[in-house]
Amino acid sequence: MKSKRIIFDAPFSVQLQDEQIALDPLPEHGVALQTRYTLISAGTDIACLSGMESWFKLPGTPGYTAVSQVVGVGSAVRNLTPGDRVYHFGSNRQYQVVSDSELLLKLPENIDERLVPFTRLATIAMTAIRVVPVELGDTVAVTGLGLVGNFAVQLAKLSGAKVIGIDPSPARRALAKQCGADVVLDPTNGSAVQEVLRRTDQQGVHALIEASGMSRVLADSLPMVARYGQAVLLGSPRAEFVTDITPLYRQSHVGRCVTIKGASEWRLPVKMDAHVKHSIERNSQIVLDLMAQDKLMVEPLLTHTFYPEQAAEAYHGVRMDKDQYMGVVFDWCTQAAPVGHEQGTEK
């Protein structure tokens, strides 16, 4: 049948193209999905759009988080039926066929479908919470308050920590404060480290979660980590940063014994297993439950909803104005309005 997909056909070029997809017959373990909503990842998607991500080949279809409705199942599929709504690692296409061995989580009844794709960003943030792990009474600093950083703030708060959010953007600081940060700081005046030390009786934070993906930010922020504390890399560094690392190593090693950890989501197994407590599947289910219980603030993070036909406009907005275009969702389930419709200007 005929379907649509968003495609990056060249660096910084976005198109909506038709494609043919076979929904009948399905493989024995195949699950046919009709996409309802997907989310732009400002970090990964824009890196792919630039053509600089080695694993993403142009032309290619971006996207890694979706909520969809099951429209067909193969003969061997037992846990899903047509009509089920599922969260999965879906791309930006109207229809897709996946294996039932993939991560496909049924949604709680009382959850807003538009917000479900944010689950992936929240589970990425949760990896840092698991890696530390954050405990009741800890003080945590989060540098970089985009979607992942904001969720790191919220999840650290839910774990019982006092949280300091740090970002040069006034809009992002205000949003982090709205979502539960105890303190927000502007690093551009050069006093963030001193202010963190002042607020912690010169002890520093138990954990620094670096969510901006900028290597300089980690280098500048290490002095705020307490003795025997931890610095966790949550954002993926991409830009070159040249510096003398000896002082960084020395201040982390001599006297303070700071541990630096990586918190890529892929350090955890995807599926739940009796022998492993934490997994992407379990984290995702926890996030969905928190959303359904209104314990995780997602609605304030949704800034724009676009039709797939407006994909070029949506990606341009995310590239050029990340503060305003922070949480951008594609609506695949509503019939597109004529060209010129301004859906993308509001939630």
Task: Sort 120 into a burial class: Cβ within 10 Å, 0-12 / 13-18 / 19+.
Answer: buried
pLDDT for 344 beyond 70: no
Predicted confidence at residue 336, as pLDDT, reads: 60
Distance, in Å, from the CA atom of 2 to the CA atom of 17, rounded to the nearest integer, reads: 10
Q: Which of 255, 265, 268, 271 is nearest to 222 (CA)?
A: 255
Task: Sort 91 into a burial class: Cβ within 10 Å, 0-12 / 13-18 / 19+.
Answer: middle
Looking at the DSSP bridge assignments, the partners of residue 163 are: 140
Four-way CATH pick for 2-106+303-345: 1.10.10.10, 3.40.50.2300, 3.40.190.10, 3.90.180.10: 3.90.180.10
Q: What is the pLDDT of residues 66-88, one digit of tens each?
A: 999 999 999 999 999 999 999 99
Mean pLDDT check: name the lowest of 133-142, 243-252, 337-346.
Answer: 337-346
Report residue 341's pLDDT band, with 50, 70 and 90 as the boundaries: very low
Predicted confidence at residue 282, as pLDDT, reads: 98
> What is the total residue count of the chain?
347
Predicted confidence at residue 55, as pLDDT, reads: 94
Q: What is the pLDDT of residues 37-60, one digit of tens each?
A: 999 999 999 999 999 899 999 999
Mean pLDDT, rounded, of the chain: 94
Name the architecture of domain 121-266.
3-Layer(aba) Sandwich (3.40)
Calculate what percentage of the chain has a pLDDT beyond 90. Answer: 88
Domain ranges across the chain:
2-106+303-345, 121-266
Token pair recorded at residue 213 = 């993906």
Secondary element (H or E) of residue 125: helix 119-131
* Stretch 99-108: mean pLDDT: 97
DSSP for 144-198 reads --SHHHHHHHHHHHHTT-EEEEE-S-HHHHHHHHHTT-SEEE-GGGS-HHHHHHH
pLDDT for 342 beyond 50: no
Distance, in Å, from the CA atom of 192 to the CA atom of 26, rounded to the nearest integer, reads: 56
Distance, in Å, from the CA atom of 273 to the CA atom of 102, rounded to the nearest integer, reads: 14
Higher pLDDT: 255 or 94? It is 94
Distance, in Å, from the CA atom of 325 to the CA atom of 185, rounded to the nearest integer, reads: 22
Residue with tokens 């300091």: 164
Tell me the Cα Rg of the chain. Answer: 21
* Stretch 113-119: mean pLDDT: 98
Distance, in Å, from the CA atom of 328 to the CA atom of 294, rounded to the nearest integer, reads: 20
